[in-house]
Amino acid sequence: MPTCRRKRVLLTQPSQSLLNTLQSDPHKEVYYLAQTGEIFESYESYAARMSFYRLKQFQCEVTGKSGLDYFQALESEQQEARTMHSRFPEPLKSAVLKSVQWQVIGRLDHLVDAVFDRFKDRYYPDERVFVDIQSDKYYARIVQVFPPRPTLAAPNRQASSSSSTISDEENTPIHKIAEDLKTPLADSITRDDPNKYYYKIQILEEDKSAKSGGGNKGKESSKTSKYSGSLMDVRCSDMRYVLLSLNRVCFWSPHVAVLFTLIALIQSRDRLSFSKSILRRFIRECVEREAAVASPWVVKTVIAMRYGVDTVMPEETRISVENLKKGESDKRKKAWEDKEGPPTKKQKKSAVGEEEKGEQERREREEQEREEKAQRAKEESERLAAEKKKKKPVRYPTEDLDIAIGDKEKKAGMKVQKPAPSRIGMPFGTDNETNEAFLMAWNFLVVYGGPLHLSTFTVDEFEQAIRHSQPDIPCALISEVHSTLIYNLRTVPFTRHSAIISLFNSLKDGDIDTFGISTSALIDASRDIGNNWERAPLRLAEGREGWEESLIGCLKDHANLENFPRLREIFIRLLYTSDIQDEAVTAAGSRQATPESRSTPQQFTKRATPKERYHLLSSRDKIAILSFMCNLAVSSKAIHLHMESCEEQLTELRKQKIEVNRAKKQHLEDIAALTGESKEGEKIGDKKTNLNGEDTPIRDSSDLSDAPGSDGETETGSAAPSGRQSARRAQAKERELARAKLASQKQALAETRRLDEEVNKCERRLEQIERDFRKLLGAVRVKPLGRDRFYNRIWWFDGMGSASLIGSGGSVQYGSGRIFVQGPSEHDVEILQRREEDMSARRLAEEGEDGMLGVGEWAVYDELETIDEFVAWLNPKGVRELALKTSIAKWWQHIAPGIRRRQADLAQASNVKGQEASSSRRSARQKHTGSDTSREPYMTWTNRRAVNAS
């Protein structure tokens, strides 16, 4: 059985409710895991169990291999079991299993030792053994086993022996006394001595024989062929693994029969087939035992039936096992009484009363005493835990909600109340469902811009493109996004006309009218639109002409009322129009009326084309379409290949990060060594200066050459020049040392500067690796920056996938330019509600009424001052907020410039609109129709990654 964290993985049993359902509804659909045979009632439990099995945290119990998933570990164990069963001698299996059945031995090791000692010198028919004949080793097979004979001369029995005697020997059971482990080993040898057994062996062929220890290859081959197929009788001696016999061995040929007398020694079984290790594995695979004390080892039922092992415990064995259990129980009871002291008079009197009142009353009293004792133990443990909790100091970081803000933190500048994030600052206000779908769609399109062949764009540009509603000015961003998704969904399997089929099936409940259009009319209207969407060219040079009809065809083949519930309403809005709405649009004139600012018409009367109607869809409908298409595109082949490529690149980046950190550490150690040597040299120089008192002036060599004295002077007069020469040499030596020291210091300084530059390069490389890691990780899984104390998730979407944080020339780039806050999930809310304190009051005090986000609610921080206040509110003593604060600090050098850049872009756009408005007021004769939409950033966006440019 595979193990996980040193514990065996137990299979999931069907719940009692599912078993009850089997009786009432035997045709109920369930989820079946074929590899393990487990049955699950819901897909969520099935998927969770399968995900658990796919984790690389399992270990093969036999080989000890780790880092495997469950199925790999199970296959490894099964392979080892097959190998073990193929190696272990087949004739020995039945005897070993019969000997271990019903044995009460505590440890498996002791059981293995007992079995090994019994069978190490006992052999069974058809076993393979090594034999030694005249100092040559051969591989032989035991043909027949004879029980002990009356005399040693039995091998040389006369030919007059009757056939009935031989038949009796063949039918006599062998090694029966040894198979009973209850019989002591010495007694079993005395009653059934293995050394008195006779064995008839047959020398096997050459390719099965063992290689001899001496002689050349030719001699071995000739000797093996000489004895191949020969039969001989041997008898076990007192030596270990040795069977000795003087035999008459007959070698027959077509012309002559020759008799030889040989000494045959059976050395041993093959160690690969019989040893303590393989015996232990065999027994462990075949037996099991209950957890109760003094429980016997029992052979598994299936294996017992295969090898003829009795599965019914004999009455004598059962009685002995019960006696053993009772004895062990009495020992433990006696030990407990010795520990607790002798029974009191009251206990003795109650014992007498128990005998009189009966067994039932005794059990009730024991149960009551046990409950009282458990209650006292619980109260004592609670008391000790409370005392321990009082004495034990709190170690930080700890659970965030266990931390109370004190006066010390308030004096240090920690905010008591969190700054409220803006709900109206979200792209679509308080419509949380639309906001979440919008952010998901934008993140998908930007992260997978590479495989989708789509250039990056900001959240603001995407929002303005969604709100674009002018039919006469096409938006390239909208057409490119839909076209690239349509191209991608051509590779995803679909069902032709699945939407039409779904609408047709809904007619069984009646022909429903929606906005004045019946389901049958809608089916007729959409039947012939976009049928060839997977072959439409959608060329870039033609402005992706026809993408609206292709969108209808794509939805017809991929969507249905189950996976896209708003299919009916959206199809009606794309295929029908209303006179009332057209008049409203005409009356709007030059004003850029958005779909949100107009009331949705309730009745549609006339047919229209998707190209005419798409720009009039509400933002909610447009985002619903894009969100549905993005969810389908995740399963495409291009996205899967991209994710696998990102996984490989992440592995490579991890290796590079380790190498760069190692190089940086080595450079820092070298700098420390150079700095230490420089300081040590300066200390030595200072010591020399202090010993000399003051620096000795260095004379010029010309002054020394003019000193008096010559070769003709007397011995007394020549003493002065020799002293000056020694001083001159000492000064020259000092100058040389000073020059060497100065050169060494310059060299050390240059080396230190070089190493500092290498350290800076390593740090820049690590920063680049972190940015690349974020880009690649965003393509595999999107993670928030962290969570605060109330489980609100903090999101920053910039720098993921195909988006970059730094542009060409080091310019700042941003995608969202803000930090989003998502409310806690339902599971997180349950955790908050399980706490003893009133979390609503605490959230109101620490978050404020405006800052409390519910499940699924979104808000945003888009100003640096507010984000600074939020970071100051985070308490680093909590586990979650410490991790969140660390993550924000790690990426702050990119978060802050992105927010500033977005605010600057918004201010610049606002100034441009103001100038246009003022110029229009100055021109009285010119009729101005509002700001020039074509100059908006979202309208000037171009797709530089497009591949279908023809």
pLDDT, tens only, 206-251: 444 444 444 444 444 444 455 566 677 666 543 333 333 333 343 3
Is the Cβ–Cβ distance between 18 and 39 less than 8 Å?
yes
Q: Give per-residue pLDDT as tens, 886-896.
A: 999 999 999 99
pLDDT higher than 80, residue 601: no
Mean pLDDT along residues 127-146: 80
Q: What confidence score (pLDDT) does residue 260 get?
A: 36
Mean pLDDT along residues 103-128: 87
Q: What confidence score (pLDDT) does residue 692 get?
A: 47
Q: What confidence score (pLDDT) does residue 252 get?
A: 35
Assign residue 467 a region: left if phi > 0, alpha if psi is -120 to 50, beta otherwise? alpha
pLDDT higher than 90, residue 443: yes
**Stronger pLDDT, 275 or 949, i.e. the higher one:** 275
DSSP letter at 699 equals P
Q: What confidence score (pLDDT) does residue 771 get?
A: 92
Task: Output the six-digit token pair for 473.
Answer: 């000015």
Is the Cβ–Cβ distance between 16 and 10 less than 8 Å?
no
DSSP letter at 836 equals S
Is the Cβ–Cβ distance between 264 and 247 less than 8 Å?
yes
Furthest-apart CA pair in the chain: how many Å? 144
577: helix, strand or coil: strand
Q: What confidence score (pLDDT) does residue 919 get?
A: 63
C-alpha to C-alpha distance for 576 and 348, rounded to whole angstroms: 95
DSSP letter at 297 equals B
Ordered strands of the 786-787 beta sheet = 786-787, 793-795, 819-822, 858-861
CB atoms within 10 A of CB 377: 10
Residue whose token pair is 């979202």: 938
C-alpha to C-alpha distance for 927 and 905, rounded to whole angstroms: 29
pLDDT higher than 50, residue 153: no
- Determine which of 127-136, 576-585, 594-603, 795-804 has the lowest per-residue pLDDT on average: 594-603
Q: Give per-residue pLDDT as tens, 68-89.
A: 999 998 888 888 888 888 888 8
- Determine which of 243-252, 280-289, 371-380, 450-459 has the lowest per-residue pLDDT on average: 243-252
pLDDT confidence band for 150 (50 / 70 / 90) = low
Q: What confidence score (pLDDT) does residue 697 get?
A: 45
| pLDDT, mean over the chain | 80
Q: Give per-residue pLDDT as tens, 11-49.
A: 888 888 888 888 888 888 898 998 888 998 888 888 888
Q: What confidence score (pLDDT) does residue 80 get?
A: 85
Q: Using H for helix, E for strand and C for coil, what is the string for 18-67?
A: HHHHHHHCCCCCCEEECCCCEEECCHHHHHHHHHHHHCCCEECCCCCCCC
Q: Give per-residue pLDDT as tens, 753-785.
A: 999 999 999 999 999 999 999 999 988 889 999
pLDDT confidence band for 267 (50 / 70 / 90) = low
Is the Cβ–Cβ distance between 465 and 477 less than 8 Å?
yes
Mean pLDDT along residues 843-849: 91
Most confident of 169-178, 492-501, 914-923: 492-501
Task: Output the six-digit token pair for 535.
Answer: 């072959």
Q: Return phi, psi of residue 287, to 5°.
A: -120, 165
Q: Give per-residue pLDDT as tens, 355-370.
A: 565 667 777 777 888 8
Assign residue 256 a region: left if phi > 0, alpha if psi is -120 to 50, beta otherwise? beta
Q: Which helix (H) or strand (E) is 246 found in, with range? A: strand 243-252
pLDDT confidence band for 190 (50 / 70 / 90) = confident
pLDDT confidence band for 341 (50 / 70 / 90) = low
Q: What confidence score (pLDDT) does residue 733 get?
A: 87
Half-sphere exposure for 412 (CA within 13 Å, toward CB): 11
pLDDT higher than 90, residue 698: no
Q: What confidence score (pLDDT) does residue 274 get?
A: 85
Mean pLDDT along residues 654-660: 94
Q: Give per-residue pLDDT as tens, 505-526.
A: 988 888 788 888 888 999 989 9
Q: Go through the chain and tell me how many residues it has.
A: 950
DSSP letter at 232 equals E
- Determine which of 115-119, 380-384, 748-752 has the lowest per-residue pLDDT on average: 380-384
C-alpha to C-alpha distance for 158 and 556, rounded to whole angstroms: 97
